[in-house]
Amino acid sequence: MLERIEMKMHVDMLRAASALARQRDVTVGQLVRDLLAREITRAHARPPIRADERLVAPLRARLADDLAHAAGWEDLQARLRAKGYVLRASGGGLALHDWPGDRRICKASELGFSYARLMRRFGAPFPDHPHSHLIARHLTQAGSAPHPQARTETGAPDGTPDTDIDVIEPC
| pLDDT score recorded for residue 152 | 41
Whether pLDDT at 122 is above 60 = yes
Is the Cα torsion angle 31, 35, 38, 44 positive or negative in sign? negative
Task: Report the alpha-carbon distance of residue 104 to residue 96 in Å, rounded.
Answer: 6
Q: Which amino acid is at 157?
A: P
| pLDDT score recorded for residue 136 | 65
**Range with the poorest average pLDDT among 13-27, 40-54, 131-145:** 131-145
| pLDDT score recorded for residue 45 | 64
Domain borders along the chain are 11-44, 55-138
Task: Report the alpha-carbon distance of residue 15 to residue 122 in Å, rounded.
Answer: 62
Question: In whole numbers, what is the pLDDT of the chain averaged over residues?
Answer: 78
The reported pTM is 0.52
Task: Report the alpha-carbon distance of residue 148 to residue 146 in Å, rounded.
Answer: 6
Whether pLDDT at 145 is above 60 = no
Rounded to a whole number, what is the largest CA-CA distance in the chain? Answer: 71
